[in-house]
Amino acid sequence: MENFNFYSPTEFVFGKDRAAEAGHFVKKYGGSRVLIHYGGGSAVKSGLIGTVKKSLDDAGVKYCELGGVKPNPRDTLVYKGIDLCKAEGVDFILAVGGGSVIDSAKAIAIGVPYDGDFWDMYSGKPVERALPVATVLTIAAAGSEGSGDSVITKEDGMLKRATGSDLLRPKFSIMDPALTQTLPAYQTACGATDIMAHVFERYFTNTTEVEITDRLCEAVLLTMIKETPRVIADPDNYEARANIMWAGTVAHNNIVGVGRQQDWNSHGLEHELSGLYDVAHGAGLAVIMPAWMEYVHKHNVMRFCQMATRVFGCQMNFEDPEATAIEGIRKFRSFLKSIGMPINFAELGAKEEDIPTLVEKFGIGDGKTGGFMQLDAHDVTEIYKIAAHATL
């Protein structure tokens, strides 16, 4: 096991009808003038924004608001948010929505106390200050409600870049699974795929003897395999929604990833897909991740056997371990297909002829990247090709 620091100070406020406590918690964590940041009109129409506002009113907290965050959130709205916060003297950002809204809120939180362009922090500069951020989560997927990460897309060139800092960990996150019951099946499945991908990025590692995080990873994956089909079949299943929502947080606050090298190439490869085609991140991952697994499995066949047997219930083939490894990957792809995810370029709406562009944008040049198996431009090209043609 490698040395690590683990710090997840967010207060999670989980369960039915908790959004009405937003005002109480904003006040507890020192907010006096809040920006309510959200996405489309659904948060307004559902009455959620109204509930949050009433709660802030009751707590005597002032607020302004900025909606309009899109999936793969853009820098352009972030600049608008920063200007608004400066004009209104905002000291606390409350994101009401999913990962995109939260990531946009984190970018605004970085930008307000910073003299230069907030994009500097998405170009490698460390985050040194940020306004406090909190969330009212409406989609189980990104894990941003419990993480210090944020991903923003620069509209000029559709360049998707990330930053991370403990300063961006939300002060609190209100998580009411009932709020996710109105999500369409496709979006629910995209979220589930993202959650599983967050685990797999940590599961495939060259660090040995980290049984505790291996088992915690498997715990989240087994939960997702049980609960996701139940939610796809019955969107109103509160219990299944609740399990998935909490699994999404556990998958990405790094409790399942400490003490080990992590990979993250699948996320990198996917970011180019959703950057170029503006497809849902989870859908892109459903196409990329099994393809990545097929390409890298020889790097550590036994680790894929562990996944196959412990997570997907395969019988170990002791005479031919690789067959077990491949069977596990096949089961993963079948699972994704069964919950309605695309599994190849055609189903995603991506084009094979764009692969050189994707590789170019991936920006690896003559270098290599990845924590599990180091990939060069040739490897990346091959993985996109597998993803282009994948079948069950």
- Rounded to a whole number of angstroms, the minimum distance from the CB of residue 226 to its own copies is 5
Cβ-Cβ contacts under 8 Å for 302 (sequence gap 6 or more)? 321
Nearer to its own copies, 130 or 251 (CB): 251
Question: Quick check: 204 and 210 in contact, CB under 8 A?
Answer: no
Burial (0-12, 13-18, 19+ Cβ within 10 Å), 260: buried
The one-letter amino acid code at 9 reads P
Question: Quick check: 121 and 110 in contact, CB under 8 A?
Answer: yes
User: Apex CA 100: angle with CA 137 and CA 275, to 5°?
Assistant: 155
- As a whole number of angstroms, the distance between CA 307 and CA 372 comes to 15
- Rounded to a whole number of angstroms, the minimum distance from the CB of residue 250 to its own copies is 7
What element of type H or E holds 236?
Answer: none
Burial (0-12, 13-18, 19+ Cβ within 10 Å), 161: middle
Distances (CA, A) of 267 to 240, 250, 270, 318, 335: 26, 18, 5, 32, 19
Nearer to its own copies, 10 or 100 (CB): 10
- Rounded to a whole number of angstroms, the minimum distance from the CB of residue 186 to its own copies is 23
What element of type H or E holds 179?
Answer: none
Nearer to its own copies, 3 or 315 (CB): 3
Nearer to its own copies, 7 or 334 (CB): 7
- Rounded to a whole number of angstroms, the minimum distance from the CB of residue 84 to its own copies is 30
- Rounded to a whole number of angstroms, the minimum distance from the CB of residue 177 to its own copies is 8
Helix (H, G, I), strand (E, B) or coil at 279: coil
- Rounded to a whole number of angstroms, the minimum distance from the CB of residue 312 to its own copies is 15
Total number of residues shown for the chain: 392
Helix (H, G, I), strand (E, B) or coil at 161: strand
Nearer to its own copies, 208 or 357 (CB): 208
Nearer to its own copies, 43 or 247 (CB): 247
- Rounded to a whole number of angstroms, the minimum distance from the CB of residue 126 to its own copies is 17
Distances (CA, A) of 364 to 122, 126, 167, 269, 378: 17, 22, 29, 11, 10
- As a whole number of angstroms, the distance between CA 89 and CA 35 comes to 10
- Rounded to a whole number of angstroms, the minimum distance from the CB of residue 251 to its own copies is 10
Nearer to its own copies, 75 or 149 (CB): 149
Q: Interface residues with its own copies (CB under 8 A)?
A: 1-16, 18, 177, 208-212, 215-216, 218-220, 222-223, 226-227, 239-240, 242-243, 246-247, 250, 255, 258-259
Nearer to its own copies, 12 or 277 (CB): 12
- Rounded to a whole number of angstroms, the minimum distance from the CB of residue 385 to its own copies is 36
Distances (CA, A) of 92 to 29, 81, 106: 9, 12, 11
Nearer to its own copies, 69 or 250 (CB): 250
Burial (0-12, 13-18, 19+ Cβ within 10 Å), 236: exposed
Nearer to its own copies, 259 or 340 (CB): 259
- Rounded to a whole number of angstroms, the minimum distance from the CB of residue 70 to its own copies is 30
